[in-house]
Chain A
Amino acid sequence: MKPVQLALPVALLLTALIAAPVEAQTVAIVGGTVAIGDGSQPITDGTVVFRDGRIVAAGTGVAVPAGATVVDAHGKWVAAGMVAGFTNLGLVDAEGIEESNDVNAKSSVFAAAIDIAPAINPNAVAIANERAGGITRALVSPATAGSIFAGQGAVIDLGHDADPITRARAFQFVELGEGGGRDAGGSRPAAYAMLHDALAEAEDFRRSPSTFGGREKASLLKRGDAKALLAVLDGTVPLLVHVERASDIRSVIALIRTYPKLKLVLVGASEGWMVAKDIAAAHVPVIAAALADLPAQFESLAATESNVGRLTQAGVPVAISTVGANTAPGEHVLKQYAGNLVAITKVPGSTGLNWGQAFATISSLPARALGMDGEIGSLRPGRRADVVLWDGDPLELSSAPVAIYIDGQPQPMRSRQTELRDRYSKPTEGSLPKAYDR
């Protein structure tokens, strides 16, 4: 019964906060262990202050402003909300429900032009479920089908409101490696031909939009695709590239010589540790496949759980993701993955992360990969106030959020999963069928 007793005052508090005018609200969470998310170690007996949806201060020696709503976090942890590194949250109701699945578009004439932002559904069941697991933001990407270009992904919040978009067109996503070869018609060289030709056509469009065409049935690149790729060429939109093999990583990094303004980010990168120095020298961040340790494909023969640790030691900023893992839509498992990267520091021969580094892989580092760590992903002053109050160490399996704020707004702690749990806490029917039990 202890957890219930802990949760009750928080629920009352949230009710009070929701009822109050939130715009001018200052909240101070005091006495908890604070995990800022920037790679630093947790701080005991710290304070987190936020006002008008932004972090004011976090750490020790932080004064509680006059008039602030004070939340007692003694015995609890206060952490930056988790940022899911690469997901399809809000883009599907379930991957296997084809009718609801907006992740890719097999028969579309468009590719790079595809913009997922208007399709994100903040009422998708998974959003509330995963928020209750401590996820507050996510990088949401389309997937490829028939082109190496998937289209433009977005950064979203998981807040209980009608506006999920933090940044639309936050990146372009491309498959190279084995997947890119398939998408391009059967080989890696074909994928590079498609990439170079598309970028060349985008330049044609820039030079002469009126003569470019791009509206003909047979045109390889539509005008919208060309516009989207110009933003990539100019470095205003990062290019996320999925590759796993060391040689593929080298080939991707070499693209910078041809297209010097590209802002590259590697996704997956199971063999990244083999080329860690090259990745670091090119200042390319990685959104890694977390715990991939199997030769799942021929392009990831050298996969090891030590990949993230070795890349980090080499100076590469590494976020982790559920890429390649069979968990959909379970982004809440990111904390478990990060915890495992700490666990392997005790296994001789393995390279892991310390706690602060590990927590950063699921908070500030996914944001940093897109150049958004000044806005989200940590409790540093000025960032959006995405704050999660945990009943224990956020990376530990037994811990769960007891309060969640997104943009400083307290979030409901219920989801469809808690509704189902409560309905079936007594499984048998009573005086009426279960359908009346709510």
Chain B
Amino acid sequence: MRTLGAAYRFCLNIAAVGALALTLAACAASSGHVKPASSGPGIGKGFSHDPYPSTYKAYPGMPTLVRNVTIYDGEGGRIDGGEVLFADGKIVGIGHDIAAPAGATVIDGTGKWITPGIIDIHSHLGDYPSPSIRALSDGNEATDPVTPEVWAEHSVWPQDPGFGRALTNGGVTTLQILPGSANLFGGRSVVLKNVYARTVQGMKFPGAPYGLKMACGENPKRVYGSRNREPSTRMGNIAVDRITWAKAVEYKRKWDKYEKNGGAIPDRNIAMDTLRGVLAGEILVHNHCYRADEMANVIDMSKEFGYHVTAFHHAVEAYKIPDLLKVNGVCAAVWADWYGFKMESYDGIAENLALLQKAGVCAMIHSDDENGIQRLNQEVAKALAAGRRAGIEISDAVAWEWLSFNPAKSLGIADRTGSLKPGKMADVVLWNGNPLSVYTRPEKVWIDGALLYDATNPKLRPVSDFELGLPGSGDVK
């Protein structure tokens, strides 16, 4: 039962359920890194593309060597009795017989596992924070079905206690915050390192591409249909999408012409800046879409207007069209076993992830939930087990790609995080057992090599401003 004494939240969640991630290079490519332009749409004659730049700086860490540990490298590799060394915020080495540099912290990992930090491609932490009161309900600009001008980062409350829970219970080191799904064009996403800061700029993942949240299906048609305005149907959804993309193509044409040939400066349109960024490949489309037939419609629409869908989120029926997703290089971000809470989720099955993997589709887990984000490793374990019972053999180490590498690729940051490869950010979780067991919890979490959670040290447990001095402050949660 999803609600009780929380009807208001339920309404929000229904509206929030659904976003869609899109990476330019998509999951088919080995690296999804997309360089955001530093200015202009395009060639540098225009305005800044990064007017709210990241001020995130890695916290200091100790050179650290974990020994005698089972390792999932995040790209399908497994090392038993292995070693991981990181220093100066980066992974230095992974394998066997790695020497500890002088002064390094050495941890015996016997009986424990080490993995890349978990990446949640679909979160509303900060824009639907806890407590879920009206004063903090900032995730859906539900005043028009087309709002690509809004940016999720301008809603994020950096004091959301949910960030700390995702870190300490979930081992989440990076997450994408999306606008909700009330609108067809919901606005821009932001990718955050899961490190508390005073400002959202202090959490922004340096250089991560922006995303555009789009939504299919029942939420937009319900929200606007109930106000007796377009869209009130699925055909209305696509119609408004197409009208908007047609405008965006025209806007892009004017700006491209100006930047190439000069002349009169075109009018600036903040909403269209975002869509031009999508058409130019700078901004990745994350599309909330449940049903197979609707995903097919969106893929055709993306071809009509010349953009690419990086990922369908909440892709409950992705298992019905893995061929279509694969040939178009579109990823699917899904839940393990959520189903049946509304019509478009009626056909959810727990084998979805495994069936996608079997077909060679770029697949990943996501939460869309402040509780679920604390147990994404467990969600993968359930999906993996369901797949195995259906006769689909996938190793534990490969399944970890659903938790880190594939989300990193879909966010365009896989060259920097998402796996334990030398030179990448030291975003690392040490688990106190097999992380695909229900009996396991994170023991230590490092972000950029800084130890930001240690279960054995009560001082290494974040308490957000909001919780400071409240009942239960500083308690284990």
Contact = CB atoms under 8 A, between A and B. Distances in A.
Contacts, number: 220
A291 B371 contact: yes
Given A296-B9, A297-B131, A417-B350, A179 B390 contact: no
Interface in A63-89: 86-88
B1 A305 contact: no
B439 A346 contact: yes
B99 interface: no
Contacts of B131: 295-298, 300-301
Contacts of B130: 294-296
B218 interface: yes
B477 interface: yes
Interface in A334-348: 336, 339-340, 342-344, 346-348
B424 interface: no
Given A267-B4, A397-B381, A427-B319, A343 B343 contact: no
A343 B438 contact: yes
A3 B384 CA distance: 13
Contacts of B477: 293-294, 303-305
B471 A274 contact: yes
Give the most central of B131, B339, B436: most A CB within 10 Å: B339
B340 A129 contact: yes
A417 B349 contact: yes
A175 interface: yes
B390 A350 contact: no
A292 B455 CA distance: 19
A294 B355 contact: no
A35 interface: no
Contacts of B475: 302, 304, 306, 349
Contact of A343 (B1, B370, B382, B439): B439
A95 interface: yes
Contacts of B132: 296-297
A22 interface: no
A3 B472 CA distance: 45
A95 B2 contact: yes
A350 B206 CA distance: 35
B476 A305 contact: yes
B340 A94 contact: yes
Interface stretch (B70-78, B178-186, B280-288, B320-328): B320-328
B355 A425 contact: yes
Interface stretch (B84-92, B161-169, B232-240): B161-169
- In this complex, the member of A179, A303, A322, A328 whose beta carbon has the largest number of chain B beta carbons within 10 angstroms is A328
B137 interface: no
A333 B369 CA distance: 15
Contacts of B438: 336, 339-340, 342-343, 395-397
Nearest to B381: A397
Nearest to B342: A96
Contact of A322 (B2, B343, B458): B2
Contact of A346 (B10, B348, B432): B432
A330 B337 contact: yes
Nearest to B337: A330
B305 interface: no
B1 A323 contact: yes
B371 A397 contact: no
Nearest to B389: A3
A393 to B, nearest CB: 9
Nearest to B10: A95
B109 to A, nearest CB: 15
A295 B345 contact: no
A293 to B, nearest CB: 4
B385 interface: yes
Of A4, A125, A300, A343, the most chain B CB neighbours within 10 A belong to: A343
Interface in B195-238: 218
Given A96-B14, A294-B370, A301-B470, A336 B378 contact: yes
A42 interface: no
Interface residues on B, range: 35 or more
A267 B432 CA distance: 32
A179 B467 contact: no
B470 A427 contact: no
Nearest to A179: B5
Nearest to B4: A323
A296 B13 CA distance: 13
A305 B439 CA distance: 14
Contact of B378 (A88, A126, A397, A399): A397
Contacts of A328: 1-3, 340-341
Contacts of B349: 417, 420-421
A340 B375 contact: yes
B347 A420 contact: yes
B476 A349 contact: yes
Contacts of B472: 271, 274, 301-304
B403 to A, nearest CB: 14
B391 A332 contact: no
Interface in A176-197: 177-180, 182
Given A143-B4, A177-B5, A427-B319, A302 B388 contact: no
A276 to B, nearest CB: 13
Contact of B382 (A88, A325, A336, A424): A336
A177 B382 CA distance: 35
Nearest to B472: A302
B471 A301 contact: yes
Nearest to B347: A420
Given A295-B131, A297-B132, A97 B342 contact: yes
Nearest to A297: B131
B140 to A, nearest CB: 16
A295 B467 contact: yes
Contacts of B13: 326
B340 A333 contact: no
Contacts of A325: 1-2, 371
B441 A294 contact: no
B243 interface: no
A342 B2 CA distance: 23
A397 B467 contact: no
Contacts of B4: 86, 143, 179, 242, 267-268, 323-324
A294 B124 CA distance: 14
A348 B439 contact: no
A126 B342 CA distance: 12
A369 interface: no
Contact of B162 (A294, A400, A421): A294
A246 interface: yes
A429 to B, nearest CB: 10
A244 interface: yes
B339 A417 contact: yes
A310 to B, nearest CB: 10
Contacts of B384: 398
8 contacts: A3-B389, A94-B343, A301-B472, A333-B337, A346-B432, A347-B441, A397-B437, A421-B390
Interface of B: 1-7, 9-10, 13-14, 130-133, 161-162, 165, 169, 218, 319-323, 337-343, 345-351, 355, 359, 369-372, 374-375, 378, 381-382, 384-386, 388-391, 432-433, 436-441, 455-456, 458, 466-467, 470-472, 475-477
Given A300-B131, A340-B378, 6 more contacts: A94-B340, A96-B343, A323-B4, A330-B338, A330-B339, A340-B438
